[in-house]
Amino acid sequence: MSGEGFDRNIYPTDLRHLLKICLEQTKEEDATGPSKYEEMSEERRKWLEEAMKAATEDPVVEMKECIRILIEKGDSEDEIEEKEEALEKLCFLCEDMDLSQDFHKIGGYALLPHLLHNDSSDIRWRGAELIANLCQNNPYCQRAALEDNLLPLLIDALEKDNVVLVKVKALYAMSCFVRGFTDGEAAFMKSNGLSVLMRAMQDGDDKLKVKATFLLKCLFSQNRLIKDTLCDMGMVEQLVGLLSEQHNNNHEHFMNALLSLATEHQRTIEECQRPELHMKELLKNRIEYLTGKEEFLEEKEYAEQLKKMCFGSQNKETGETPVNR
């Protein structure tokens, strides 16, 4: 944001959007007061000219131009920068559901595999982000991604790319592809997607751990049969292992996932009760550690619910769990 109160990187997609931006820039001005006329700065004049141009351009034509740049430009530093700018514009335009469908209709999906395999990691992660924007809450584009077999490419990027940001964006794209799309979820399961996510949870990067955990939670919340499969795969042990590491802000997500997995699922509860996991002691110590720490209030509540669910309430004198007769 510049000192004049406008963002030079934001351009309107149409005249209505331009009007909205102008109104926002002048809403605090007092039209009834004395005039505060000042000559327009060169920076603001340039922004306004570019904004007017952007508002009158056909976004489909813009997308075609971006595709042309991505196909024709080479690998020099300047050309890579042009490609990055073209991808950023495509990501912005494809946040609109209609334009994201237009991107498929003009043949843009043929470009996506090449972006994910590009030598430049900056192109690869932006390509994955573009797929995410296309698929998010968009059944048409989710179906198109399935038919174009993009899921295996995203899985490869997550598992084999050596750049963390590419992995994170590939996982984000997978999440946007799967969520709310039954056929996409089926394809994900057929591709051993649960194993892929559990391996991502073992990655050294905290963002990957949290995002993989979040997607797993979404999946077993939509399909309760997945809970049995995750128990067979050692999901409970993996979450307990993550919670046993030195405490950090991510533990709230792991605790929530374990609580959700155990909710109305006796198999998970029995797994948590296995003596070798020391889950009862872990929860007791975690609740004590979090007590009085407002920033970890939600995690403390999750731990208390999980402790009650798995181990019940204890007799204060004997420390024994009452037996229901």
| 181 pLDDT above the threshold of 80 | yes
Q: What is the pLDDT of residue 58?
A: 86
| 252 pLDDT above the threshold of 50 | yes
Residue 21 counted as domain residue: no
Q: What is the pLDDT of residue 51?
A: 65
Domain stop point among 137, 159, 191: 191
Tell me what the pLDDT averaged over the chain comes to: 86
Same domain, 172 and 203: no
Average pLDDT over residues 202-214: 90
Over residues 279-297, the pLDDT tens digits come to 999 999 999 999 999 999 9
Q: What is the pLDDT of residue 315?
A: 37
Same domain, 174 and 266: no
Same domain, 144 and 203: no
Domain stop point among 168, 191, 214: 191
Same domain, 61 and 187: yes
Average pLDDT over residues 238-254: 94
Q: Which has the higher per-residue pLDDT, 14 or 165?
A: 165
| 45 pLDDT above the threshold of 80 | no
Range of the domain at 85: 57-191
Same domain, 245 and 297: yes
Same domain, 174 and 153: yes
* pLDDT tier, 324 (very low <50, low <70, confident <90, very high otherwise): very low
Same domain, 307 and 234: yes
CATH of the domain at 208: 1.25.10.10
Q: What is the pLDDT of residue 9?
A: 53
Residue 153 counted as domain residue: yes
Tell me which of 73-77, 118-122, 190-194 is least confident.
73-77
Domain stop point among 191, 226, 260: 191
Q: What is the pLDDT of residue 46?
A: 73
Residue 172 counted as domain residue: yes
| 325 pLDDT above the threshold of 60 | no
Same domain, 278 and 244: yes
Q: What is the pLDDT of residue 318?
A: 39
* pLDDT tier, 117 (very low <50, low <70, confident <90, very high otherwise): very high
Q: What is the pLDDT of residue 60?
A: 94
Residue 272 counted as domain residue: yes
Average pLDDT over residues 124-131: 98
* pLDDT tier, 307 (very low <50, low <70, confident <90, very high otherwise): very high
Average pLDDT over residues 190-210: 91
Average pLDDT over residues 246-263: 95
Residue 160 counted as domain residue: yes
Q: Please tell me the total count of domains within the chain.
A: 2
| 164 pLDDT above the threshold of 80 | yes
In three state form, how does the secondary structure of the chain look? Answer: CCCCCCCCCCCCCCHHHHHHHHHHHHCCCCCCCCCCCCCCCHHHHHHHHHHHHHHHCCHHHHHHHHHHHHHHCCCCHHHHHHHHHHHHHHHHHCCCHHHHHHHHHCCHHHHHHHHHCCCCHHHHHHHHHHHHHHHCCCHHHHHHHHHCCCHHHHHHHHHHCCCHHHHHHHHHHHHHHHCCCHHHHHHHHHCCHHHHHHHHHCCCCHHHHHHHHHHHHHHHHHCCHHHHHHHHCCHHHHHHHHHCCCCCCCHHHHHHHHHHHHCCCHHHHHHHCCHHHCHHHHHHHHHHHHCCCHHHHHHHHHHHHHHHHHHCCCCCCCCCCCCCC
Instruction: Determine contact, residues 237/200, Cβ cutoff 8 Å.
Output: no
| 196 pLDDT above the threshold of 50 | yes
Q: Which has the higher per-residue pLDDT, 320 or 191?
A: 191
Four-point Cα dihedral 317, 318, 324, 325, nearest 10: -110
Average pLDDT over residues 194-220: 91
Tell me which of 14-28, 234-248, 255-269 is least confident.
14-28
Residue 258 counted as domain residue: yes
Over residues 14-33, the pLDDT tens digits come to 555 655 665 565 555 555 55
Residue 18 counted as domain residue: no
Same domain, 61 and 183: yes
| 134 pLDDT above the threshold of 90 | yes
Rounded Cα distance between 262 and 275, Å, is: 17
